[in-house]
Amino acid sequence: MNAAALSSAHVALEALFVPIASGQLRLPEDGRVLFLHARDGFRLREMAQPGWLCAQGFKPFAAELERSGLRVGEPAADERFPLVLVLPPRQREEARALFARAVRHAAPGGIVLACMPNAGGARSGEADLAQLAGAVTQLSKHKCRVFWSAPRGDRVDAALLGEWAAFDEPRLNAAGYWSRPGLFAWDRVDVASALLAAHLPADLRGRVADLGAGYGYLSAQVLARCAQVQEIDLYEAEARALEPARLNMEAAVRESGHAVQANVHWHDVSLGLPERYDAIVSNPPFHQQGREDLPELGRAFIAAAAAALSPQGSFWMVANRHLPYEATLAGRFAEVRTVVAQEGFKVIEARGVRA
C-alpha cells in the first residue's frame, strides 16, 4: 500500500508497525503492549492481542478503538510494558511529555517505538527521543519517520525526564487561564472565542451549556458577564482539557460572587447532549485533525444544540466567516441573525427551535 492510498489519519499508524512486520522488532512474548495516543486502524486490529492497552484521551478516537474490540484505558502509575508504542502529536511540548510518559512505562530492556509524519515534526521527535532515552534506530516509510530506543536506566536523562513530564501539568497561560500544551489555543485566548464573549447578552439565564469548551475560557466569560446563570455544563471531547477547565471554573465561580453549579463533561457533542438548556454557547471545532476544514463537525454541534435547547432558548456561536453554517442553522431555528462579522469571524444568534 502506497502513501497516497492511506488517509492522513492512518498513515503514521501504518508506518509504525513496519519494524515489526519486517522482523526488525518482535512483539513481546507475554503479549503486553502499551499504545499511547493510540488510533484505530486495520494494522492495529491485525496486530493487537488481549494484553494490549490503548490510551487515547480524545473521546471520538477512544470510541473508535472500543468499537473495534480494543482495550482502552490508562496504565497504573507503576505499570511497565516490554513495548510502548507512541504516535506523538505535532505540538512539541505535548510530544515531549508523551515521550517521558513512554519511557517511564517501558520495562527494563523494553522498547519505545514511535512514528511521526515528516511534515509533522518527525525529525524533532526523533532527536527528542534520542536526547531523553539514548541512541535510536530509525527508518522511513509512507512519508513518515519511524524510530525506536531501548531506554535503559543508564541511558535515560533523569533530570530531563522529570522536566518533560512536567510539560503536561496544567499551567497558567498568558491570559491567566489554566491550560496545557497541545490544547486548542492553549497559550492564549482564541480571537474567535473572545469575539463571541464580547457579544454575549447579559441576560442569559438558567441552565447554560458550552459545547467544545476547551480549557473553559468561554464558560468563565459567561459567568463573569451573565449574573442570572444558575448552572453551566462544559462539554469537551479532549480529556486533557478537563482538569484545566475545572480549575478555571472554580476560579470563575469564586469571582462571580454568586452560587453557580459548574460541571465539566468528557463528551462527544456530535452524539447529542443528555440534558436540556436555556442557552447554549459554542466555538465549534472546524477540523478534527490536520489542517483541512471539516464543517460537518460544526453542523453536528448545531444539531446537538437545537435538540437540547428549551423552546424559548437561544444558541450563540462563533465561526470562521467562510464556513457555510447559515443553511444548517435556518433548517433548525426560526430566527438566525449575524450579530457581528469581524477579524475573519462571525458571531451568530439563533432562536426558535424548529420542531
Same domain, yes or no: 163 and 216: no
Instruction: State which of 167, 184, 200 marks the end of a domain.
Output: 167
The dihedral over CA atoms of 84, 164, 142, 73, expressed in degrees to the nearest 10, equals 40
Q: How far apart are CA 320 and CA 345, in angstroms?
A: 4
Q: Which residues of 96-125 are buried (b: 16+ CB within 10 A; e: fewer)?
A: bbbbbbbbbbbbeebbbbbbbbeebbbeeb
Output the average pLDDT for the chain. 93
Average pLDDT over every residue of 109-129: 96
pLDDT score of 281: 98
pLDDT score of 292: 47
Whole-angstrom Cα Rg for the chain:
22
Query: pLDDT category, 2, cuts 50, 70, 90?
Result: very low
Average pLDDT over every residue of 320-346: 94
pLDDT of 153 > 90? The answer is: no
pLDDT score of 6: 41
Same domain, yes or no: 143 and 231: no
Distance of CA 124 to the CA centre of its chain: 21
pLDDT of 4 > 80? The answer is: no
pLDDT digits (tens, 9 = 90+) for 211-222: 999 999 999 999
Same domain, yes or no: 52 and 157: yes
pLDDT of 291 > 80? The answer is: no
Same domain, yes or no: 85 and 112: yes
Q: How far apart are CA 268 and CA 286, in angstroms?
A: 14
Query: pLDDT category, 294, cuts 50, 70, 90?
Result: low
Which phi and psi (to 5°) does residue 192 adopt? -65, -45
Instruction: State which of 167, 192, 213 marks the end of a domain.
Output: 167
Query: Whole-prediction pTM value?
Result: 0.93
Same domain, yes or no: 265 and 162: no
Q: How far apart are CA 259 and CA 228, in angstroms?
A: 10
Same domain, yes or no: 92 and 188: no
Instruction: State which of 139, 167, 195 marks the end of a domain.
Output: 167
pLDDT of 289 > 70? The answer is: no
Query: pLDDT category, 287, cuts 50, 70, 90?
Result: low
Same domain, yes or no: 245 and 115: no
Same domain, yes or no: 36 and 135: yes
Same domain, yes or no: 135 and 221: no
Same domain, yes or no: 240 and 304: yes
- Domain count for the chain, please give it: 2
**Alpha helices, H only, 199-285:** 217-225, 242-256
Query: pLDDT category, 75, cuts 50, 70, 90?
Result: very high
Average pLDDT over every residue of 175-189: 96
pLDDT score of 290: 44
Full residue range of the structural domain in which residue 119 is found:
3-167
Average pLDDT over every residue of 243-272: 96
4-13, 199-208, 306-315 — which is least confidently predicted? 4-13
pLDDT digits (tens, 9 = 90+) for 194-247: 999 999 999 999 999 999 999 999 999 999 999 999 999 999 999 999 999 999
Same domain, yes or no: 160 and 303: no
Whose CA is closest to 83, among 31, 126, 135, 10?
31
pLDDT of 3 > 90? The answer is: no
Same domain, yes or no: 210 and 321: yes
CATH of the domain at 119: 3.40.50.150
Q: Which residue has the higher pLDDT, 348 or 322?
A: 348
Query: pLDDT category, 174, cuts 50, 70, 90?
Result: very high
